[in-house]
């Protein structure tokens, strides 16, 4: 229903707004060449915010005197708030990307809060890295002269620059390509994760508190969606393999939302394999602390998640169990040490046996 409705709106809007867009593109060349104020919007998931950091350095390099701001969700603020290339990072937790259901009026209030933030910034350029109809509409209402994004969810006719959404290429590359209307082409796709030094110190203290000494592996076993789930018993087999054959302690991580499920996992593990032990620090780390714990780990084992993206950025060996629902070429974290286990045609993630992970563990621990 919604797809049909937005298709009709887009057809009508494209015809009506074409003359306005044509005139606007001719008049806005100066603002694109030398913008004074730029806003980058990425307000959905932590992994997406991590991937979005590839645009920060190119923007600063090409516009050294511009004010560059970033709009991020509460759960992704730690990813960008310490980045010295940004002038301001504003928290915007949208009603439409929270996992708890929101009412229609919650969405309306959230939308107009976004409009106020954008309008108050008086930006010359707004880059929405997701291509979300609500973000596009908000930047249009807020009066941003140059609006760059995809038109994939509707209202692309409200953009001054509609960029093609290219399937089959990685999200970081898609983000970089959105900078082309500003004259930024190519360049290195480097994630920029900057955390305060205190996070490194507190990470060490936390590991000491829980008795983690020597080599350890970080596990993330609790997905945000059921289609990313792998059998908990198989995770237990991998932990037991690491302890028995490599002397590696397993450290379980996750957000505070995962604590209940982690406790159930711990109880189930104790019943199935009494000999196995692991350290449970689920819900006890900030993102910066987690990043520092990952940096010193022997490897990471887990599902498609924010910790997996942090582990890849930290440069450690990553064994990633990736759901058949998404294309790893587009969505899996990049890195020379990233090993993606993806279901074969006709196979589901739940069907993948534990020994396939253990085989990759052997290679990672050499």
What are the structure tokens assigned to 190, written together? Answer: 């480097």
Going from the C-alpha of 165 to that of each of 62, 250, 333, the distances in angstroms are 23, 40, 19
Which residue blocks in 53-191 are alpha helix, DSSP H? 56-62, 77-80, 104-121, 133-141, 171-177
pTM: 0.88
pLDDT along the chain (366 residues), means of 10: 46 48 48 84 96 96 96 96 97 90 92 98 97 95 95 88 92 96 85 95 96 94 82 91 92 83 66 66 94 96 94 96 90 92 88 92 72
Which pLDDT value is given to residue 3?
A: 43
Distance of alpha carbon 140 from alpha carbon 330, whole angstroms? 29
Q: Tell me, what's the pLDDT at 267?
A: 62
What's the farthest any 2 CA atoms get from each other in the chain? Answer: 72
Burial of 213 by CB count in 10 Å (0-12 exposed, 13-18 middle, 19+ buried)?
exposed
Domains of the chain by start residue, with CATH = 2-182 (3.40.50.2000), 197-364 (3.40.50.2000)
> Residues near 195 by Cβ (< 8 Å), separated by ≥ 6?
78, 82, 287, 288, 291, 292
Q: What pLDDT, on a 0 to 100 scale, did the predictor assign at position 365?
A: 66
Q: What is the pLDDT of residue 268?
A: 64
As given in the structure block, the two tokens for residue 113 are 């809060």
| Kind plus residue range of the DSSP H or E element containing 30 | helix 29-33
- Which residues is 161 bridged to in the sheet? 148
Burial class (CB in 10 A: 0-12, 13-18, 19+), 41: buried
CA distance 91 to 54: 19
Helices (H) and strands (E) in the chain, counts: 15, 12
CA angle centred on 210, ends 207 and 213, rounded to 5°? 60
Q: What's the pLDDT score for residue 345?
A: 84
Q: 183 CB contacts (<8 Å, ≥6 apart)?
A: 32, 33, 62
Tell me the C-alpha distance between 336 and 362, whole Å. 17
Confidence at residue 8, expressed as pLDDT on a 0 to 100 scale:
45
* C-beta neighbour count of 187 within 10 angstroms: 14
Please tell me the distance from the alpha carbon of residue 191 to that of residue 58, in angstroms, as a whole number.
11
Element (H, E) at 251: strand 249-252
Q: Taking the CB of residue 58, how many other CB atoms lie within 10 A of it?
A: 21
**Which residues lie closer than 8 Å to 256 by C-beta, 6 or more apart?**
282, 283
d(CA 88, CA 69): 5
């Amino acid at each position: 229903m919604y797809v049909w409705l937005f298709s009709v709106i887009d057809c009508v809007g494209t015809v009506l707004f074409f003359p306005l867009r044509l005139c606007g593109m001719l008049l806005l060349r100066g603002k694109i060449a030398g913008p004074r104020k730029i806003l980058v919007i990425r307000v959905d998931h932590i992994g997406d915010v991590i991937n979005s950091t590839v645009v920060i350095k190119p923007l600063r390099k090409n516009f050294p005197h511009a004010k560059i701001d970033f709009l991020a969700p509460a759960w992704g603020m730690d990813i960008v708030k310490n980045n010295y290339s940004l002038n301001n990072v504003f928290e915007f937790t949208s009603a439409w990307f929270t996992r708890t259901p929101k009412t229609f009026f919650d969405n309306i209030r959230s939308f107009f809060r976004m409009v106020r933030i954008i309008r108050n910034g008086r930006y010359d350029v707004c880059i929405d890295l997701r291509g979300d109809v609500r973000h596009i509409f908000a930047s249009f209402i807020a009066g941003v002269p140059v609006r760059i994004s995809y038109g994939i969810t509707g209202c692309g006719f409200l953009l001054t620059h509609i960029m093609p959404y290219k399937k089959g290429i990685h999200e970081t590359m898609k983000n970089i390509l959105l900078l082309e209307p500003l004259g930024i082409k190519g360049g290195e796709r480097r994630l920029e994760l900057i955390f305060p030094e205190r996070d490194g110190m507190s990470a060490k203290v936390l590991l000491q508190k829980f008795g983690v000494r020597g080599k350890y592996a970080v596990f993330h076993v609790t997905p945000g969606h059921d289609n990313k789930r792998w059998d908990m018993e198989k995770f237990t087999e991998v932990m037991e393999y690491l302890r028995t054959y490599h002397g590696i302690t397993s450290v379980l991580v996750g957000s505070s939302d995962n604590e209940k499920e982690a406790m159930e996992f711990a109880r189930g593990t104790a019943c199935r394999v009494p000999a196995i032990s692991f350290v449970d620090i689920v819900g006890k780390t900030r993102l910066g602390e987690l990043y520092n714990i990952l940096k010193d780990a022997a490897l990471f084992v887990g599902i498609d998640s924010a910790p997996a993206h942090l582990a890849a950025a930290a440069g450690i060996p990553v064994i990633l169990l990736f759901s058949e629902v998404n294309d790893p070429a587009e969505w899996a974290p990049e890195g020379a040490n990233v090993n993606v286990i993806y279901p074969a045609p006709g196979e589901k993630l739940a069907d993948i046996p534990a020994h396939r992970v253990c085989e990759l563990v052997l290679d990672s621990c050499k």
